[in-house]
Structure 1
Amino acid sequence: MPALSVALTAAIGAMAGAAARPVVFARSVPAPAAARNSCPHCGGTVLDRRLPVLPASGRCPACAQAIGPRPLVPEAAAAIAFAAIASGGANGWFAAAQYWVAACGVALALIDIAVQRLPDVLTLPACGGTLLLLTAAAMAGEPGSLGRAAAAAAVLTAVFLLMAFAGAMGLGDVKFAPAVGALLGWSSWTVLFWGAAAGFIVGAVSEVARMAAGRARRSHVSFGPYMVIGALAVSVTS
């Protein structure tokens, strides 16, 4: 794809990241809380229900304390993801499914890093939207298999559910698995295998690097970011 098109797509990704900023702030709360709209430091209202916009500075307008995602992090993450997808050359409804997973995945990854959870308000639309877009791809005759995508979603969800029962994974990861499984399975079973495995590989390398750097790690590993990175990387390059 021409560099200009990739740059324009990255700009759209940055806008998607900006739109995700208030969602990340609102949903970065420990379970069982559902959401927040006030500053955790001074209690002042940050998100107006009529216009839910979070300051790009990442600071509360009232007390100037840091809140929500760091400045430009959601925007940069989404821009990079969108640019990578555009560079991969996919088009049509399948590409739309990739962008959808990326947009939802950036928000989910940032929330997971903040509070170690993947909220239903994002995992369920991620799954529903991905399956809907892949259905459109099938109706448009794009190369791929909707039946295999659905089966792959079921298989990956079942595997993750078993891991969750064993205490090796959270239920949020399980709820996000159908979106990842469907996106990867659309192309082939091989892509599903490597896309799922890539998340664990990226996670293992990252955690080893953190330990080598002497950085303390929480007992619970936020797997959401690795899951998104691995799936998109394999989907885009396959």
Structure 2
Amino acid sequence: MDFKNKVVIVTGASSGIGAASAVLFAKHGAKLTLIGRNEQRLEAVAKKCQDANGIPPLCLRLDLTAAGSCAAVITKTIATYDRIDVLVNCAAKMLIGSLFDDNIDTFDEMIDINLRVPYKLTHLALPYLIKTKGNIVNLHATKYTKVVHGFLPYSISKAGLERFTRFSAVELATEGVRVNAVQPGLTRTNILANLAMGEDEMQYTYEHLSNKMKILDPEEVAKMVVFVASEVCPNLNGSDIGLNGASWMI
């Protein structure tokens, strides 16, 4: 897989799957735009990327849900590199919410970052992706058969991203732009830690959600992300690639 002279945008690049994907893209020669909200972690990932290929990434510390942020990502990437080849929509958030809540703020927040941001970034990047015959990789959750209380807003947002992947792939196929999704199983990232759980509670949640099967490392998921974004399978389009150790079947 060769990404030399190709420009890859990775959202959620300051930790987890986004960080691991950024480093692996760099090892394959890519020029990178990295977006994250934690400046210290983002800089640490950028250093690993530069160490891998000698090319300093463009780092943007942004809240992608803020007005103008998505446009800034595309504008600054084009100003720096003059092209976009791959967009990896990895930024995501998980909050506990329910229909019994007093308001739907949690639902709105989940839809905003997990669905609206990928839609908007894709829309804004599209003219440049058409020029390069590039592609988009979305990250969304495995469709577990087990329903867990409190994850309704998150699950809806990720189901929407799955539909977005399939329908946009059909829309963009005539333009030579591929759209695919990677569905990782439960992965050891900061997403549960950000729920302010204690260590014991977090471990219980990991085991409960994964049906006591293997929890993935971000580096394994990153390999799939980079593979899907590569030209190894040029007709891979509109696909949801599951990487979950069959845990969804239990």
TM-score (norm 1): 0.32
- In proportion to residue count, which structure has more helix? 1
Q: Which structure has greater strand proportion?
A: 2
* TM-score normalized with structure 2 length: 0.31
